[in-house]
């Protein structure tokens, strides 16, 4: 409260500065100083929970309470292959990840910047990525922030998908992540995105990510306080634009490796701050975002495993409502990996089984009759009870290696299992149906916006051409 009141937050948008001043916030130059009581009055107008509606209602996401939902990696410009070599991400990578997200039982949120393709026009990439997510999945959609014009184009495409602007505004349909610029700044592009989304009644994720020791103070408590000041200011601004707009309180606080100056997301400090993010959000009666399967590893390795497990387990134990970067991240957000994506899905499955606990109340739950049948000194492997439960009752890995090694090393077996799992998911993938009129409307919108027909065909591959 002292940070946001005494030091203030710099806002790089004249309309927003006029708005907050009109609402009673002290403004000097480009800096807004929020009185704590006024700030919390506006923050209190945001809903404690909301539902993000997918094209297929089966995939609707409830964001809030103790519910945990997961989204894949976000924003990476590169791909790290199984051998550790790095390359630029391509449009085909984006399409493949969109299909993998659609196939995963653990991921309900598709789209956003699953990987930033290097082989398409950067000025049109927001349209191309959004379209690729829309046509390859009917799960919930993550939007892409940008200039006011680009954000409006996102809303226009969502309106085509959901039956018009009025229908879009009736329910939350597209979630946009807004990153502040630490320390204590929200730039023009972020504020333009906030304006457009809030005016369309679409939810926003306000997610500061100060790095303790570089863009944030070195102490963890101080870094959390700085991030909280930025998040609350952003949330209040959203409510000043359109009270009641769903907003997520998201702190993605990192720590710096001061030996190199690099950002570090695989440390206990990252996991610790994610846990406190969830607690702060509950105190403010807001949904939370934080954590993920984050690591600093340069390839799929023992490091990528134990760091991702630490952060992901923390996320679930603290009941963070939306966990971005849940699958595929390597190298401190610098790259996505198909193999790590599969490993992370296995980690999520392990955690869900572990946190599911025991449900044992009846004699049948304790298998008394089975134990009596086997008796002292017997064996349970060939009983009907074991045979009926062994494939579904316990957790079985897809990636982990339990069998005896022969010609391959353990690491080679893990990578091969990850690739087999990926191939199995993609082989089972079927593009969800889409109303031909909607498909035609989206295609025409992209072509009018300057996206070439060859790009649209590339997104569909062998599944079809222009609608």
> What is the pLDDT, as a whole number, of residue 396?
87
Q: What is the pLDDT of residues 447-467, one digit of tens each?
A: 999 999 999 999 998 666 676
Q: What is the pLDDT of residues 168-188, one digit of tens each?
A: 999 999 999 999 999 999 999
Q: What is the pLDDT of residues 91-130, one digit of tens each?
A: 999 999 999 999 999 999 999 999 999 999 999 999 999 9
Give yes or no for a contact between 115 and 142, defined as CB atoms under 8 angstroms apart: no
Which residue from 339, 335, 331, 349 is spatially nearest to 411, judged by alpha carbons?
339
pLDDT for residue 242 is more than 80: yes
How much is the average pLDDT of 27-43?
98
Using alpha carbons only, what angle is made at residue 328 by residues 323 and 329, rounded to the nearest 5 degrees?
Answer: 80
What's the chain's length in residues?
467
For residues 158 and 133, what is the distance between their CA atoms, to the nearest angstrom? 11
Q: What is the pLDDT of residues 379-415, one digit of tens each?
A: 999 999 999 988 887 788 999 999 899 899 999 999 9
Q: What is the pLDDT of residues 150-173, one digit of tens each?
A: 999 999 999 999 999 999 999 999
User: Which of 10-14, 135-139, 227-231, 257-261 shows the lowest per-residue confidence on average (mean pLDDT)?
Assistant: 257-261
- Domain 50-355: assigned CATH number: 3.20.20.480
Confidence of residue 261 (pLDDT cuts 50, 70, 90): confident
Q: Which residues belong to CATH 3.20.20.480 in the chain?
A: 50-355
Beta bridge partners of 322: 69, 289
Beta bridge partners of 204: 176, 247
Residue with tokens 């996505």: 336
For residues 165 and 162, what is the distance between their CA atoms, to the nearest angstrom? 8
Q: What is the pLDDT of residues 320-356, one digit of tens each?
A: 999 999 999 999 999 999 999 999 999 999 999 999 9
Local structure of residue 250 (DSSP, 8 states): E
Upstream peptide bond of 324 is cis (omega within 30 degrees of 0): no
> What is the pLDDT, as a whole number, of residue 467?
64
Mean pLDDT over each residue of the chain, to the nearest integer: 96
Residue with tokens 């599944």: 463
Please give the residue that has the higher pLDDT: either 277 or 259.
Answer: 277
The sign one gets for the Cα dihedral 419, 420, 421, 424 is: positive
- The helix, strand and coil proportions of the chain, stated in percent and rounded to the nearest 5, come to 45, 15, 40
Local structure of residue 6 (DSSP, 8 states): I
> What is the pLDDT, as a whole number, of residue 464?
61
- Alpha carbon separation from 384 to 366, 367, 380, 414 (Å, rounded): 15, 12, 9, 32
Percent of the chain with pLDDT over 70: 99
Quote the pTM value. 0.96
């Amino acid at each position: 409260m002292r940070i946001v009141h005494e030091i203030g937050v710099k806002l790089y948008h004249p309309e927003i500065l006029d708005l907050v001043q009109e609402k009673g916030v002290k403004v000097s130059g480009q800096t807004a100083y929020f009185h704590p009581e006024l700030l919390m009055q506006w923050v209190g107008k945001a809903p404690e929970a909301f539902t993000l509606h997918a094209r297929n209602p089966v995939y609707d996401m409830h964001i809030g309470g103790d519910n945990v939902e997961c989204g894949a990696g976000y924003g990476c410009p590169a791909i790290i292959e199984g051998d550790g070599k790095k390359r630029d991400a391509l449009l085909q990578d984006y399409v493949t990840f969109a299909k993998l997200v659609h196939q995963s039982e653990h991921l309900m949120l598709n789209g956003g910047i699953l990987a930033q393709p290097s082989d398409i026009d950067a000025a049109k990439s927001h349209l191309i990525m959004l379209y690729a997510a829309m046509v390859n999945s009917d799960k919930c959609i993550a939007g892409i922030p940008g200039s006011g014009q680009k954000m409006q184009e996102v809303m226009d495409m969502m309106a085509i998908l959901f039956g018009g602007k009025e229908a879009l505004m009736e329910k939350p349909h597209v979630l946009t992540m807004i990153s502040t610029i630490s320390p204590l700044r929200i730039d023009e592009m972020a504020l333009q995105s906030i304006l457009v989304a809030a005016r369309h009644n679409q939810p926003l994720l306000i997610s500061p990510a100060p790095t303790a020791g570089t863009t944030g103070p070195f102490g963890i408590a101080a870094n959390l306080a700085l991030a909280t000041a930025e998040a609350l200011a952003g949330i209040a601004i959203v409510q000043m634009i359109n009270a009641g707009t769903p907003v997520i309180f998201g702190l993605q606080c990192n720590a710096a490796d001061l030996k190199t100056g690099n950002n570090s997301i695989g440390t206990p400090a990252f996991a610790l701050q994610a846990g406190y993010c969830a607690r702060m959000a509950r105190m403010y009666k807001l949904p939370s975002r934080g954590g993920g399967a984050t690591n600093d590893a340069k390839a799929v390795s023992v490091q990528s495993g134990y760091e991702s497990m630490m952060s992901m387990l923390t996320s679930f134990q603290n009941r963070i409502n939306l966990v971005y970067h849940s699958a595929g991240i390597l190298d401190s957000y610098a790259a996505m990996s198909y193999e790590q994506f599969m490993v992370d899905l296995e980690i999520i499955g392990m955690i869900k089984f572990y946190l599911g606990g025991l449900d044992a109340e009846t004699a049948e739950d304790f298998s008394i009759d089975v134990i009596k049948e086997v008796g002292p000194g017997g064996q349970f492997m060939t009983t009907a009870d074991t045979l009926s439960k062994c494939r579904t009752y316990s957790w079985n890995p897809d990636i982990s290696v339990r069998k005896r090694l022969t010609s391959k090393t353990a690491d080679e077996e893990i990578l091969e299992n990850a690739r087999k799992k990926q191939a199995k998911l993609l082989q089972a993938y079927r593009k969800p149906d889409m109303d031909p009129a909607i498909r035609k409307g989206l295609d025409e919108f992209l072509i009018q916006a300057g996206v070439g027909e060859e790009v649209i065909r590339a997104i569909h591959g062998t599944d079809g051409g222009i609608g």
